[in-house]
Chains A and B, each alone.
Chain A
Amino acid sequence: MGNRVNIEELKELLDQAAAAPLPPAIAQRLQLARQSALAHQRRPHAWLARLQHLLRPHDHESHRTLHWVGALLLLAAVLAGGWQWKQVALHDHAALDLAILTDDLPVRMYVE
């Protein structure tokens, strides 16, 4: 035949073969396979899907909702941090009061 092919030509030939119309029976089975696969598609948990939906830029309303959620989360984080700091301070004061009442202060406390 005297043909000569290189890798690009071979790839193009295989691409053409894959792009060529398939017999109707095979095309139909592939379509059924696709539909069957779609019926089995894994879905994330509802709350995760909702979060992803919110994180996607859809429209003005979604952005407003997202901003409110972000602001609430920030506020909650600040309040939680303040409460935690207050608890630690209270605990420290209580420990000190107890040490004073029981006359159990370490020597370094007198030095300070």
Chain B
Amino acid sequence: MSTRAELSDFLASIERRAYKHALYATRDEDAALDIVQDAMIKLAERYGDKPPAELPLLFQRILQTTILDHFRRQKVRNLHFSLFSSFAPKQEDDDFEVLDLLQDEGNASQPAAPHTALAQSELLSIIEHALQRLPPRQREAFILRYWEQLDTAQTAAAMGCTEGSVKTHCSRATHTLAGILKAKGIDLSWETE
């Protein structure tokens, strides 16, 4: 069973990644914060007595569900929009310019040389923007599989789908991402399983 300190340490260790994860999905800071808070409370309420080793996967599953719930509520609120248009507003994407990213103040990567830092900052912003443009399920599969480093079975459990679906989502996400990045002058090389 997790003690209060263990649960607190776990939540502190994942809160930033969870926030980023939710932000990639929603592109809305307030919504992302609400999602993280909901997910944390659900984890503590339902699984606060589980051993610490079980918490990461449980939290990922809860986070996915909470993000999905957010989109469902959003869909109900915006009945006149289709599901996909509510996930990915076109206008925002079309306005995207690489030069805008140079003014990104929320980026604190720490390489030594300023030009390297700038290049990394720019690259990161392009990648984050590309991630946000992926369809929701592809983005979830991609993030869980390649960022959170879950295996296919764990990703399937977190997403509530089959392992085959995870592989399909990851493959499509890879191709979509490579296409988006290619248009920005970045070659993506993947070592797929």
Contacts and interface: CB of A to CB of B under 8 A. Distances in A.
Tell me if chain B binds chain A: yes
Interface of A: 1-7, 10-11, 13-23, 26, 29-30, 32-34, 36-44, 49, 52
B153 interface: no
A5 to B, nearest CB: 6
The 3 closest A-B pairs by CB, nearest first: A33-B37, A37-B40, A41-B48
Interface string B90-127: 00000000100000001111100000000110111001
12 contacts: A5-B186, A6-B188, A13-B127, A16-B124, A17-B128, A20-B107, A30-B33, A34-B11, A36-B41, A38-B44, A41-B45, A42-B48
Contacts, number: 131
Given A11-B146, A11-B147, A23-B106, A37 B185 contact: no
Interface stretch (B12-20, B68-76, B78-86, B156-164): B12-20
Interface residues of B, number: 50
A10 B8 CA distance: 29
B40 A3 contact: no
